[in-house]
Every structure is written in structure tokens, then in C-alpha cells.
Amino acid sequence: MKLLVTGGAGFIGSAVVRLAVARGHRVVNLDALTYAACLENVAEAAESPLYAFEKADIRDAAALERIFAAHAPDAVMHLAAESHVDRSIDAPGDFIETNVTGTYTVLQAARRYWVQAGRSDGFRFHHISTDEVYGTLGATGLFTEETPYAPNSPYSASKAASDHLVRVWHETYGLPVVLFNCSNNYGPYQFPEKLIPVIILNAIAGRPLPIYGDGSNVRDWLYVEDHADALLTVLETGAPGWSYNIGGENERTNLELVKTICGILNELRPGAEGSPCRPDRLRRRPPRPRRALRNRPVADPPRAGLAPVGDGGGGAAAHGAVVSRQRALVAPAAGADRGRRAAGPGGVAWRFWSSARRGRLRPSWRGSGARRRSASAGRRRISPTRGPVPRSSAGPGRRR
Ligand SMILES: Cc1cn([C@H]2C[C@H](O)[C@@H](COP(=O)(O)OP(=O)(O)O[C@H]3O[C@H](CO)[C@@H](O)[C@H](O)[C@H]3O)O2)c(=O)[nH]c1=O
């Protein structure tokens, strides 16, 4: 397949580009190279004849038209976005511009191209969004694809708006779209403004470790390469008009996560100057506005399946790279036939498997108990008017 990946020099986008090229897809990386993007993130893939780069802004309709015509992609994977919640609180304008106007402009360009190319059924527009659109979880439960949208920050409101635009380009114009909402990604090349790279870099440098509130907010952590794997898998097997939640089934409070990272760093650099990472380095920061705190005890040891890669040198390690030990796999639902039936015609239900927590492979899906409302996994049909709507569950968790 030939993929047009917007934001392919960013954190999640570059993981998609690297994996897609490694799997033999042709990839056009479209990126404006704003502050959080870096072509080093795709240096390996860029050596491949399968790879091409186009520097462009997703709000530039003329550039998009040229790029669609020049490369004739089979699918768009739209990841270009402003993504940092804190920045959106300080300066929301860029988020509206890039995430809303930008997504609209890409949708229009994709639609025009798709119509001119004869409205191929095989074309796909994949929109990669966030579980932030669902807002705040209670002390129990998980987000599902049917959770009502309740964004709490300018960032999440802009992503919610973009999700609605994508859905409507399917409803109104028939564009074959698929929508993804993921939990917190971590892994190589993450820009050091998010929690994990901030903590790693500060700890190594002997600086204070900033924790918002009392650190009891809970996040579900998804290894970025597992996320890329899920996105490419659904690209090959998923049906248009559906949305999928993607999570790592790996919930930790922020405080537990920070302590885990400290523990790992202390093992790796015992007695080194600037280390060890001590609790007295924790610095409480005021909680971010409009973010309720939830305190939910997590039973398992707070190791979080994280292990560092690299030696603190350049590349990934410079951004505080971590790699998941549990290596959550995207696998067809146990009893793939049952999964297929649950998901509806042409679709496959996916579950996330994890060896985390008890050190062995086990399904992170725990069946159709009270927390999970049905046996169909992690997706919902966007358009209820175009076919049966499977009951859905298996969304990532998010508690603040
Ligand atoms: C940067 C930073 C964050 N935090 C807290 C705030 C949150 O409760 C938690 C994670 O913060 P962040 O790493 O900024 O990520 P968060 O706000 O959850 O949003 C992320 O996760 C979302 C997916 O849920 C993505 O859509 C966003 O693009 C991404 O930024 O850690 C701290 O306590 N200290 C910090 O220095």
C-alpha cells in the first residue's frame, strides 16, 4: 500500500512511518516540521526507497492537492496535530488552527482526490485521535467507543471537533474513514514535554521532578510501537465507518509511574552524580485547570513494564526513550470467528494482550464481566444508520 502519513516526523507519526516502511509499505511523510517534529525520528526509514518526504502544512490546501496528485496514496493516516494539553491551556489558537482547520483541509483534499480517483472502496482515511475527548473517568470503568464526548481542555476540544468532522465526512460524503482514540503513548522519540521524558531527563540531570497535584491522576500507558502496530493492522483488516479505542491496559497513577522510573534509573546509575532519583526531588505543582483528581489504588507493583533503552547518548535516549517489557500485542480476539461475528461483517475485533503485571502472557481483556459490557472488542460503528451496531467495550482508562 502507499500511505500518506501526516505528522510523520512527530512522535506517534514517526513510529507509524518506521513500522510501515519496515513492513514494505510505501510511505509519503507529510510534515510541517514544527517544534515537536524531527526528521531524525525517521532517519532509518528515510534511507529506504519506499520513503518520501513532503514538507507542508496541513492547512495549505494547494500543497495538499499537489501532494495527493503527485503520490496517489491508497490511504491517509492523519496524525499531524498540536498535542500538548499544557500548551493548549496557555495558547489555544494554534490548536484550533492545526487540529480543526488543518483536519478540515486534509479531509477536503482527500475527498477531492478520492472522488477524482473514482471513489474507490479500498481508499481509507484514518484519523488518529485521543481518549482525551471522553473527558474524565470515575473511580471505576473504562472508556468505550460509545462514551459521550466531554472534552476538558482546548486540546481535547479541538480533537473532539476534528473527530466530528471526520465522522461527518463519512456520513455526508461517504469518505471511507476510520477513527482511533488512544490513551497515553510512551516510547522512543517522545518530545520532552510529556510526563515520562520530562521525568527521565530531569532525574538524570538531578533536577526537581514536577508532579501536578498529589500525583494521584491515573493514566493508561500505551507503548507507541504497539499503537503503530494496531493502526497498521486495522488499516489492513478494518472496515470503514468504525471507530476504535486503543489502549495499553497499563494503568498507573502518575506518582507510581514516577517512582517506577526513579527505581529503574537508580538501578542503572547507582551512586552516579546527579542520581539517585530521590523522593525529595518531587516538586508538587498546582493541578492543571479543569482536571479533576481521582485516586484509584492500582494493585500491581508499580513497575509499569518500563525498561530504558540506549545509554543516555543521542537519538532516542536523548528524548528519554523507554521500551515496554510487556510488549503488548495486538492480536485477533481469542476465537477469531467469535470476534468477527461480534464485530460485524467485514470486521475483526481486536484485543490487546499483555505480559505485564504478572510477568507472563495473558489477555488484558478480562471477558464480559461487570467492567466490560460486552464481548465485542474496542470499536464501534460510526454510522448507526448503515448497519448493526455492536455493543462495544475495551476502551482505555483515564482517571485524573
Ligand atoms: C508534563 C507533566 C505532566 N504531569 C501529569 C499531568 C497528567 O496527569 C499526566 C500526563 O501528562 P502528559 O504527559 O502531559 O499527558 P496528558 O496530559 O495525559 O495527555 C497526553 O495523552 C493524551 C492521550 O490520552 C494525548 O492525546 C495527548 O496528546 C498527550 O499529551 O502527568 C505531571 O504531573 N508533571 C509534568 O511535568
Pairing of the two strands 177-182 and 209-212:
unpaired
Is residue 245 within 6 Å of ligand 1 at its C-beta? Answer: no
Number of domains in the chain: 2
Range of the domain at 309: 195-214+252-324
- Using DSSP's 3-state secondary structure scheme, residue 170 falls into helix
State the closest ligand 1 atom to the C-alpha of 153, by its place in the atom list counted from 1. 17
State the distance from the centre of ligand 1 to the C-alpha of 137, rounded, in angstroms: 15
Pairing of the two strands 26-31 and 51-55:
parallel
What is the Cα–Cα distance from 140 to 39, expressed in whole angstroms?
40
To the query of whether residue 236 is one of the catalytic residues in this protein, the response is: no
Pairing of the two strands 306-308 and 329-332:
unpaired
> Active-site residue among 155, 186, 212, 223?
155
For residue 307, the 8-state DSSP code is E
What is the Cα–Cα distance from 158 to 165, expressed in whole angstroms?
11
Is residue 64 within 6 Å of ligand 1 at its C-beta? Answer: no
Are 199 and 186 contained in the same domain? Answer: no
Q: Which residues contact 195 (CB under 8 A, 6 or more apart)?
A: 184, 219, 254, 257, 258
**Could you tell me the three cell numbers for 9?**
516526523
Ligand 1 pocket: which of 94, 131, 132 to mutate (most atoms within 8 A of CB): 132
**Could you tell me the three cell numbers for 216?**
494521584
To the query of whether residue 65 is one of the catalytic residues in this protein, the response is: no
State the distance from the centre of ligand 1 to the C-alpha of 1, rounded, in angstroms: 33
Side-chain half-sphere exposure of 286, counting CA atoms within 13 A: 4
Is residue 287 within 6 Å of ligand 1 at its C-beta? Answer: no
Are 174 and 200 contained in the same domain? Answer: no
Are 165 and 199 contained in the same domain? Answer: no
To the query of whether residue 223 is one of the catalytic residues in this protein, the response is: no
> Active-site residue among 57, 132, 220, 251?
132
Is residue 133 within 6 Å of ligand 1 at its C-beta? Answer: no
Are 259 and 159 contained in the same domain? Answer: no
**Is residue 360 in a domain?**
no
Tell me which residue has its CA closest to atom 20 in ligand 1. 184
- Using DSSP's 3-state secondary structure scheme, residue 232 falls into helix
Tell me which residue has its CA closest to atom 6 in ligand 1. 212
Are 144 and 258 contained in the same domain? Answer: no
Computed on alpha carbons and rounded to an integer, the radius of gyration of the chain in Å comes to 20
Is residue 217 within 6 Å of ligand 1 at its C-beta? Answer: yes
Tell me which residue has its CA closest to atom 31 in ligand 1. 195
Beginning with the edge strand found earlier in the chain, give each strand of the sheet holding 75-78 in spatial order.
Answer: 51-55, 26-31, 2-6, 75-78, 124-130, 177-182, 242-246, 379-381
Are 133 and 19 contained in the same domain? Answer: yes
Q: Name the domain boundary from 203, 230, 249.
A: 249
Is residue 254 within 6 Å of ligand 1 at its C-beta? Answer: yes
Q: Name the domain boundary from 324, 341, 367.
A: 324
Are 150 and 208 contained in the same domain? Answer: no
Ligand 1 pocket: which of 212, 251, 258 to mutate (most atoms within 8 A of CB): 212
Contact 254, 215 (CB under 8 A): yes
Tell me which residue has its CA closest to atom 27 in ligand 1. 83
Chain mean position to CA 386: 27
Residue with cell string 481483556 = 365
What is the Cα–Cα distance from 354 to 360, expressed in whole angstroms?
8
State the closest ligand 1 atom to the C-alpha of 196, by its place in the atom list counted from 1. 13
Is residue 36 within 6 Å of ligand 1 at its C-beta? Answer: no
**Could you tell me the three cell numbers for 74?**
491508497
CATH code of residue 286: 3.90.25
Tell me which residue has its CA closest to atom 16 in ligand 1. 85
Does ipTM exceed 0.95? yes
Are 114 and 234 contained in the same domain? Answer: yes
Query: Taking the alpha carbons of 232, 236, 238, 239 in that order, is the dihedral positive or negative?
Result: positive
**Could you tell me the three cell numbers for 277?**
532519583
> Active-site residue among 131, 145, 220, 251?
131
Reading the chain (400 residues) residue by residue, the pLDDT tens digits are 999 999 999 999 999 999 999 999 999 999 999 999 999 999 999 999 999 999 999 999 999 999 999 999 999 999 999 999 999 999 999 999 999 999 999 999 999 999 999 999 999 999 999 999 999 887 778 888 889 999 999 999 999 999 999 999 999 999 999 999 999 999 999 999 999 999 999 988 888 899 999 999 999 999 999 999 999 999 988 889 999 999 988 899 999 999 999 888 888 876 655 556 776 777 887 766 544 333 333 333 222 334 433 332 222 222 222 222 222 222 222 222 222 222 322 222 233 322 222 222 222 222 222 222 222 234 455 543 333 223 233 344 455 5
Tell me which residue has its CA closest to atom 15 in ligand 1. 194
**Is residue 122 in a domain?**
yes
**Is residue 242 in a domain?**
yes
One-letter amino acid at 107 equals L
CATH code of residue 6: 3.40.50.720
